[in-house]
Chains A and B, each alone.
Chain A
Amino acid sequence: MTASSAAVQPVIVGAGPAGVRAAQALVAHGLRPVVIDEASRAGGQIYRRPPASLAQRSAQALYGFEAGRADAVHAAFDALRERIDYRPDSLVWNAQGGRLDVLHGPTRSTSSLPYGQLIVATGATDRVLPVPGWTLPGVYTLGGAQVALKFQGCAIGERVAFMGTGPLLYLVAYQYAKAGAKVAAVLDTARLADQLAAAPAMLRQPAVFAKGVYYVAWLRAHGVALHGGVRPLRVLGDAQESRVAGVAWHDGREERTLACDAVGFGHALRSETQLADLLGCRFEFAPLHRAHLPVRDAAGRSSVRGVYLAGDGAGIMGADAAEWAGERAALALLADNGVAVDAARAAELERKLQKLGGFREGLERAFPVPQDWAAHANDELVVCRCENITAGTLRQAVAENGADEMNRLKALSRVGMGRCQGRMCGAAAAEILAHATGLPLQQVGRLRGQAPIKPIPIHLAAAPSAEGAGE
């Protein structure tokens, strides 16, 4: 490598499949990246590892078909462990002027980490389209339900209904059933016809498609009720409204109910884009993802020099794509730094990512976001639970004050002003705003990112920004 690159210590934010493969590629070319991980063990959400003290279940039990992938990512990381500057339990809460502000959980301390080049692999959380009753104790997102199982080794309830749509719906139901939980039902807003229509595109990834088919078949064979084409009506509470008691949905003909004590719900995933936003990356509307996302070229370069984007944080493409994109972004970083990289490998990774794009389109057709969600959201529905803002309040801001853009909607209604800063409610609020104004979703824009990315204690923010770069 060149002399100039020897001085570079790139930073990777995120230690999921994208971050781990990016780190691996950088290490293979002689660099020693800093890897910042909000979790205490690498693996990200999809391959989240339980705490060492709890690690009794096998990878097969935790990850099912994904055990091989999970093992490979974990092994890759473990092999890198001594050759990278790994910083677990560390939240990047701000980015400014070539430095990241990092909050280290266990020591309750903040530091400032300079970077020249940065790979952002911040992953995703669930896309939440709420239903009445979703704030009852016992309601989790699908991802949250999965984390409980993988990380804490417990189920969210004894009799669990899964509701929403997306591949995670069946995967989590399968994982729960395999782990011994009673799955009351899987309620999919997509119709079987959607899945059939999407099959040709899905066959671009036959192995992945086959897994999906397997989950469905397995659940069916084990007596789990699967309902497609549903419209979720509400989560029912017990007599004291203190806990989930059931779910109600419309099946196209009539209203139906089912008893359960927990609900996992979600409509696929959404990218965690706050860091890219604070870094100044240019965003564009991505119709496939129904979201504004930071733009990246095929190699993962963002619009900001020295900032690279990989994995679900820049668009939901799944874990396999995240691995490829992480490696590809690392190669781009190296090449931009004057290091010779394997061009054939880079091209192969781009081809694989490109091919997956077609599959992703198929997935969107198979599990479409319910286009009529906003139309059916009644005025009393709480959209933003941090601030207790209802759909009716949002519509009022449109009707009475002319809000036609997300930041104006936020200013007038408080939606997205709470602790989550719109990460949970932003997607749903945008759907409501688009519906209420009659504007296309693209046009209502997105909430601007504002530090801190997650809440930080004031006395830690007050700490002088110590240099955290050296070892």
Chain B
Amino acid sequence: MSGRKTLRTDVAIVGGGIVGASAALALRQMGIGVVLLERDLCGSRSSGVNYGGVRRQGRPIDQLPLAQRAHRIWGRLRETIGTDGEYLRSGHFKIARSEADMASLERYRAQSRDFDLGLELISDARLRERCPWLGTRAVGGSLCAEDGQANPRLVSPAFALAAQRAGAQVFERHKVEEVAHDGQAFMLRSGNALEVHAPALLNCAGAWAGSIAAEFGEEVPLQSGHPAMAVTEPLPFFMDWSLGVEGGGIYCRQVARGNLVLGGGGKGIALDADRARSDRDAIASLSAQAVELLPALRHAHFIRTWSGTEGYLPDRQPVLGPSRTTPGLFHGFGFSGAGFQIGPAAGEVLAELVRDGRSSTPIESFSIERFTPTPP
């Protein structure tokens, strides 16, 4: 119909989260044309409302090459996206609540030795001396001094802005309603406003990526998850490390202005397909664990809770790599609640796949083929 804008470009990207936006930026840096379509605002979903942990420690070993690549990108964040987004290599401390946890952290240190994460195990007197604010449940933990934290509200939108400044055409509030491939090129349609034609398509639609994959005959068991998040009023600064707990549970960090950001503690609730909020019982669980870990929080106030919508796959690994059915289609989704740190590297990998057909970072573990039923 008249009024619909038709654009032809090299690569179309669905999704303006940290993966899609950093892919757009990387592609532009290679001189490749990009149109990015985002259904809402760039970085407004899980990329922008997550906890803000920037950690390599604790990731599955096969994610570490990607995480190391991301670590280098985070190290030059300001020159890459024009802001530091409150990124700090403040240290990430994974807490052990038992000797068995401690043994598990030791095993992880041994397994990850090739990746030079610089993990340091701390326990007993040294632990009490180093962090007198820790509750008695903690018996020790593993510190990754170069891991840290950042503000996802600032970082994720900044990747999209940087991509735009680099020449990507970014369309916010443009939901993709139709996607097709005619054997040569992809066609994406957003309402009556926009039609995009491109020989390559990146599926970076997060929790909404499953339907695009399915459109090309690649069903994935992608599910939405909604972590419960909460933040306290500003408190006197006492804790530079970002905290996690071995075996899962909660995570917690204090930002420079004093607020503590907490996450985990069970699932949030979906209000509809697009929106979620923290669940009451999840907040109760989060609160109880927070007070146990950090007794000083007992009288602090929660001022805000929230959640987001993240895509989870059963093995908690992302899908990252080429489609097995459709040439020119590449997937980057399903980061299962752990995509913020590796997102920028995933974006670079996708850009490499478009340009070279292969990535310099090993990504075999993340192939969509792992969900393909194997013939008998």
With A408-B44, A459-B291 as given contacts, are A402 and B278 in contact (CB-CB < 8 Å)? no
Number of interface residues of B (CB under 8 A): 34
Q: Is B284 an interface residue (CB 8 A)?
A: yes
Cross-interface CB contact of A458 among B278, B279, B300, B306, cutoff 8 Å: B300
Cross-interface CB contact of A419 among B158, B233, B278, B283, cutoff 8 Å: B233
* Alpha-carbon gap, A345 to B303, bound state (A): 43
Q: Is A463 an interface residue (CB 8 A)?
A: yes
With A411-B44, A455-B233 as given contacts, are A418 and B284 in contact (CB-CB < 8 Å)? no
* Alpha-carbon gap, A34 to B283, bound state (A): 25
* Alpha-carbon gap, A96 to B154, bound state (A): 29
Let me know if A458 and B291 touch, CB within 8 A: yes
* Alpha-carbon gap, A418 to B104, bound state (A): 39
Cross-interface CB contact of B302 among A97, A280, A401, A458, cutoff 8 Å: A458
Look across to chain B and name the residue whose beta carbon is closest to the beta carbon of A278: B277
Let me know if A101 and B287 touch, CB within 8 A: no
Q: Is A462 an interface residue (CB 8 A)?
A: yes
Let me know if A459 and B280 touch, CB within 8 A: no
Q: How far is the CB of B297 from chain A (nearest CB, A)?
A: 5
Q: How far is the CB of B151 from chain A (nearest CB, A)?
A: 9
* Alpha-carbon gap, A184 to B309, bound state (A): 55
* Alpha-carbon gap, A455 to B232, bound state (A): 9
B278 contacts which chain A residues (CB < 8 A)? 451
Q: Is A470 an interface residue (CB 8 A)?
A: no
Q: How far is the CB of A401 from chain B (nearest CB, A)?
A: 6
A401 contacts which chain B residues (CB < 8 A)? 157-158, 161
Let me know if B284 and A465 touch, CB within 8 A: yes
Let me know if A455 and B277 touch, CB within 8 A: no
Let me know if A450 and B277 touch, CB within 8 A: yes
Let me know if B157 and A412 touch, CB within 8 A: yes
Let me know if B298 and A411 touch, CB within 8 A: no
Q: Is A216 an interface residue (CB 8 A)?
A: no
Number of interface residues of A (CB under 8 A): 31
* Alpha-carbon gap, A408 to B38, bound state (A): 15
Look across to chain B and name the residue whose beta carbon is closest to the beta carbon of A418: B303
B279 contacts which chain A residues (CB < 8 A)? 96
- Against A, the Cβ 8 Å flags (1 = close, 0 = not) of B298-316 are 1111111110000000000
B280 contacts which chain A residues (CB < 8 A)? 94, 96-97, 99, 101, 112, 465
Q: Is B105 an interface residue (CB 8 A)?
A: no
Q: How far is the CB of A280 from chain B (nearest CB, A)?
A: 7
Let me know if A461 and B157 touch, CB within 8 A: no
Q: Is B17 an interface residue (CB 8 A)?
A: no
A97 contacts which chain B residues (CB < 8 A)? 269, 280
* Alpha-carbon gap, A456 to B303, bound state (A): 7
Cross-interface CB contact of A461 among B41, B271, B283, cutoff 8 Å: B283
Let me know if A419 and B303 touch, CB within 8 A: yes
- Against A, the Cβ 8 Å flags (1 = close, 0 = not) of B178-219 are 000000000000000000000000000000000000000000
Look across to chain A and name the residue whose beta carbon is closest to the beta carbon of B231: A417
Q: Is A438 an interface residue (CB 8 A)?
A: no
A457 contacts which chain B residues (CB < 8 A)? 298-302
Cross-interface CB contact of B284 among A419, A450, A452, A463, cutoff 8 Å: A463
A405 contacts which chain B residues (CB < 8 A)? 41
Q: Name the interface residues of B240-294: CB closer than 8 Å to any CB of A.
A: 269, 271, 277-281, 283-285, 287-288, 290-291
Q: Is A421 an interface residue (CB 8 A)?
A: yes
Q: How far is the CB of B272 from chain A (nearest CB, A)?
A: 9
* Alpha-carbon gap, A421 to B298, bound state (A): 21
Q: Is B153 an interface residue (CB 8 A)?
A: yes
* Alpha-carbon gap, A97 to B290, bound state (A): 25
* Alpha-carbon gap, A151 to B249, bound state (A): 45
* Alpha-carbon gap, A412 to B288, bound state (A): 30
A402 contacts which chain B residues (CB < 8 A)? 161
Q: Is A464 an interface residue (CB 8 A)?
A: yes
User: Which residue, of A450, A456, A458, has the highest number of chain B Cβ atoms within 10 A?
Assistant: A458
A99 contacts which chain B residues (CB < 8 A)? 280
Let me know if A462 and B288 touch, CB within 8 A: yes
Q: Name the interface residues of A281-305: CB closer than 8 Å to any CB of B.
A: none
With A96-B269, A411-B44, A465-B281 as given contacts, are A459 and B298 in contact (CB-CB < 8 Å)? yes
Look across to chain A and name the residue whose beta carbon is closest to the beta carbon of B305: A451
B290 contacts which chain A residues (CB < 8 A)? 458, 462
Q: Is B148 an interface residue (CB 8 A)?
A: no
A94 contacts which chain B residues (CB < 8 A)? 280
Cross-interface CB contact of A450 among B44, B157, B158, B305, cutoff 8 Å: B305
With A96-B269, A101-B280, A408-B41 as given contacts, are A462 and B303 in contact (CB-CB < 8 Å)? no
- Against B, the Cβ 8 Å flags (1 = close, 0 = not) of A164-179 are 0000000000000000
Let me know if A411 and B48 touch, CB within 8 A: yes
Let me know if B284 and A464 touch, CB within 8 A: yes
Let me know if A450 and B304 touch, CB within 8 A: yes
Cross-interface CB contact of B271 among A280, A421, A451, A458, cutoff 8 Å: A280
Let me know if A456 and B301 touch, CB within 8 A: yes
B305 contacts which chain A residues (CB < 8 A)? 450-452
Look across to chain B and name the residue whose beta carbon is closest to the beta carbon of A420: B303
A455 contacts which chain B residues (CB < 8 A)? 233, 301-303
* Alpha-carbon gap, A465 to B301, bound state (A): 18
Q: How far is the CB of B61 from chain A (nearest CB, A)?
A: 34
Cross-interface CB contact of A412 among B153, B298, B304, B306, cutoff 8 Å: B153
B298 contacts which chain A residues (CB < 8 A)? 457-459
Q: How far is the CB of B81 from chain A (nearest CB, A)?
A: 12
Q: How far is the CB of B118 from chain A (nearest CB, A)?
A: 33
With A461-B287, A462-B291 as given contacts, are A456 and B302 in contact (CB-CB < 8 Å)? yes
Let me know if B277 and A459 touch, CB within 8 A: no
Look across to chain B and name the residue whose beta carbon is closest to the beta carbon of A101: B280
Q: Name the interface residues of A402-453: CB closer than 8 Å to any CB of B.
A: 402, 405, 407-408, 411-412, 417-419, 421, 450-452
Q: How far is the CB of B287 from chain A (nearest CB, A)?
A: 3
- Against A, the Cβ 8 Å flags (1 = close, 0 = not) of B346-361 are 0000000000000000
* Alpha-carbon gap, A80 to B161, bound state (A): 59
- Against A, the Cβ 8 Å flags (1 = close, 0 = not) of B128-172 are 000000000000000000000000011001100100000000000
B300 contacts which chain A residues (CB < 8 A)? 457-458
* 27 A-B residue pairs with CB within 8 Å: A94-B280, A96-B279, A97-B280, A280-B271, A401-B157, A405-B41, A411-B153, A419-B233, A419-B301, A421-B304, A450-B277, A450-B305, A450-B306, A451-B277, A451-B305, A452-B303, A455-B233, A455-B303, A456-B301, A456-B302, A457-B299, A457-B300, A457-B301, A458-B299, A458-B300, A463-B284, A465-B284
Given contacts A280-B271, A458-B302, A461-B287, 14 further A-B contacts (CB under 8 A): A96-B280, A401-B158, A412-B153, A412-B157, A417-B304, A418-B233, A450-B305, A451-B278, A451-B304, A452-B302, A452-B303, A462-B284, A462-B291, A465-B281
> B-side interface residues toward A, CB under 8 Å?
41, 44, 48, 153-154, 157-158, 161, 232-233, 269, 271, 277-281, 283-285, 287-288, 290-291, 297-306
> A-side interface residues toward B, CB under 8 Å?
94, 96-97, 99, 101, 112, 280, 401-402, 405, 407-408, 411-412, 417-419, 421, 450-452, 455-459, 461-465
Which 10 residue pairs spanning A and B have beta carbons closest together? Answer: A462-B287, A455-B301, A462-B288, A411-B153, A461-B287, A458-B287, A455-B303, A459-B298, A450-B304, A96-B280
